């Protein structure tokens, strides 16, 4: 169990550019979540996957945001035409499904810090 891995750790981009982040959950964790955290605030829910299915999306997730989890393992979060307001820490978390019992315990990665200039 190596924990939730996120890449890159930091991303600096110019306004209008597209960026993509990757998350590798803990092995065999079926649920994967994306959260966004701005300075001085708690994480805010963006979306989550159960296996490869995206089951819920927050209203925070504008049309410029898209998340995928094509094979039910790693996930990517893409932001198109970035804006300065997108600057934040993007956190990924996963939870287990051992013995077909869902666990509420979320394990977070270290996040990707996005700065849009």
Q: Can you tell me the distance from the alpha carbon of 98 to that of 45, in angstroms, rounded to the nearest whole number?
A: 23
Contact call for residue 105 and another protein (CB under 8 A): yes
Query: Residue 35, Cβ neighbours under 10 Å: how many?
Result: 22
Contact 116, 15 (CB under 8 A): yes
Residue 110 lies near another protein (rule: CB under 8 A):
yes
Per CB under 8 A, the list member of 36, 79, 109, 116 interacting with another protein is: 109
101 binds another protein (CB under 8 A): no
We find the least distance from the C-beta atom of residue 115 to another protein, in angstroms, to be 14
The nearer residue to another protein, 3 or 80, going by C-beta atoms, is 3
What is the CB-side half-sphere exposure of residue 24 using CA atoms within 13 A?
8
Q: Does 106 bind another protein (CB under 8 A)?
A: yes
Question: H/E element holding 22?
Answer: strand 19-24
**Between residue 52 and residue 91, which ones bind another protein under the rule CB under 8 A?**
55-56, 58, 91
Least distance (Å) between residue 70 CB and another protein: 20
| Distances in whole angstroms, Cα of residue 63 to Cα of each of 11, 16, 81, 82, 92 | 21, 14, 10, 12, 19
By CB under 8 A, name the binding residues for another protein. 4, 6, 31, 33, 40-45, 48, 55-56, 58, 91, 93, 102, 104-111
């Amino acid at each position: 169990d190596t924990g939730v891995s996120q890449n890159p750790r930091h991303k600096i981009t110019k306004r209008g550019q597209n960026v993509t982040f990757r998350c590798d959950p803990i092995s065999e964790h079926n649920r994967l979540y994306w959260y966004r955290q701005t300075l001085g605030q708690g994480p805010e829910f963006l979306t989550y996957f159960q296996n490869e299915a995206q089951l819920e999306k927050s209203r925070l997730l504008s049309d410029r945001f898209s998340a995928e989890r094509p094979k039910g393992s790693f996930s990517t979060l893409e932001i198109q035409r970035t804006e300065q307001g997108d600057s934040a820490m993007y956190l990924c978390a996963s939870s287990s499904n051992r013995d077909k019992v869902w666990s509420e315990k979320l394990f977070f990665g270290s996040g990707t810090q996005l700065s849009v200039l």
